[in-house]
């Protein structure tokens, strides 16, 4: 048997697309659950995979081209979901901040101020 050589460009591209699909799915899961930790690492991994995919210079077979088109649509959806999740989180933070501010002012208003009933001190 001949020794196994380096993977062909098409095989490498298919592996990269599969890794991108997994990273996109992990990102979508974290956005759905509001688990913000680790998103930075996922974004860096996605960027590295995309940069490596660009360097694989080969015409994509039909199946791989369809997967790449689906990934492009998925990326736009993830970007929209990330912006929406950020907006929802910012709105919740504003609501909590306002509630704390109001609670603090209610507490101050609830404590009676000392009243002097006589001018003789």
Q: What is the pTM of this model?
A: 0.67
| Number of domains the chain is built from | 1
- The Cα-based distances of 96 to 43, 52, 93, 99 in angstroms read 29, 43, 5, 5
Give the structural domain span for 22.
9-78
Residue 104 in domain: no
DSSP 53: H
Residue given tokens 């088109």 in the structure block: 69
Nearest one of 50, 56, 60 to 23, comparing CA atoms: 50
* 110 within some domain: no
* Residue 62 included in any domain: yes
What is the predicted pLDDT for the residue at 57?
A: 58
Give domain status of residue 116, yes or no. Answer: no
109 within a domain of the structure (yes/no): no
Residue 108 located in a structural domain: no
106 assigned to some structural domain: no
Q: What's the average pLDDT block by block, 10 residues per block, for the chain (121 residues)?
A: 59 90 92 84 92 78 84 90 87 87 62 64 57
Name the token pair of 86.
Answer: 């950020």
- Residue 72 is assigned to a structural domain of this protein: yes
């Amino acid at each position: 048997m001949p020794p196994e050589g380096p993977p062909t460009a098409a095989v490498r591209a298919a592996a990269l697309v599969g890794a991108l699909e997994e990273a996109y799915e992990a990102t979508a899961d974290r956005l759905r659950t509001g688990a913000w930790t680790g998103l930075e690492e996922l974004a860096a991994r996605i960027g590295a995979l995309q940069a490596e995919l660009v360097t694989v210079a080969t015409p994509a077979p039909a199946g791989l081209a369809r997967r790449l088109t689906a990934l492009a649509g998925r990326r736009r959806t993830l970007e929209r979901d990330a912006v929406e999740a950020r907006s929802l989180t910012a709105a919740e933070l504003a609501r909590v901040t306002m509630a704390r501010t109001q609670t603090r002012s209610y507490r101050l208003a609830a404590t009676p101020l000392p009243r002097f009933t006589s001018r003789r001190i």
